[in-house]
Amino acid sequence: MGQRHQIYIVQKKQNKYSALTAHHHQWCFGITAATNCIRLVEAIRRAKVRDGKFESFYCYDQREFDTLVTSIYGIDDDGFVSMVDDEREYLIEDGQIRPERGDNNDGCTLVIVDYDSNTIRACMFTPHHVEGKERHKCRAWTPYTPLQYAKFYYLDPLEQEGFHKSRIADLKTGNVGTVTKQEFKKIMAASLAKEFADECEVENV
């Protein structure tokens, strides 16, 4: 049971992408997942920028990224604590993330720490599907902004009641940068090749 979500952090150096972390959360979806994505980007940005400069030697260790993910995703606004599991062993292979291997029914968060352009950006996507009310609009292996992701769960996420005001404010103003479809496909090359191979096997049966 649960609404299962994974969180990935990937770094880009000299136009090459390599995975830093892969975490699993058993109950993360909708506005909570969308705003956690925004908060994670902001936390990494604060940790890496000093006096207006993007510092490569701040927050570069995988353990530091682990701390940020578990802190943001593991404790909610009411102080409720939930487990955030490290799943690098299953979800990273040869430095590449492999989301199709995750136990997932409510999408993923991808954060890119780009040392080539000194920027941090993110997107949300699903390797399978999501379980929101508007799930029929969601396409697998497609990058979405946090607000676009939230719209798969609510017709108007910015007018949702029952959430802390800070969550709605984050969703309205949060800037996570843009992950293009081309960049997303490059990062997901191994996974997409596997998905395509599986489709061919089915067609040839």
Interval 38-94: pLDDT, tens: 999 999 999 999 998 999 899 999 999 999 999 999 999 999 999 999 999 999 999
**Residue 52, number of CB atoms within 10 A of its CB:** 5
The pTM for the full model equals 0.94
Question: Which residue(s) pair with 122 in the sheet?
Answer: 111
Q: Is the pLDDT of residue 200 over 50?
A: no
Mean pLDDT for the chain overall: 93
**60 Cβ contact partners less than 8 Å away, ≥ 6 residues apart:** none
Question: Which residue(s) pair with 203 in the sheet?
Answer: none
Residue 200 or 193, more confident: 193
Burial class (CB in 10 A: 0-12, 13-18, 19+), 72: buried
**Residue 65, number of CB atoms within 10 A of its CB:** 23
Q: Which candidate, 100, 135, 118, 138, places its Cα nearest to that of 6?
A: 100
Contact 152, 31 (CB under 8 A): no
pLDDT at 197: 57
pLDDT at 1: 57
Mean pLDDT of 122-135: 95
In Å, the largest CA–CA distance within the chain is 60
Q: Is the pLDDT of residue 182 over 80?
A: yes
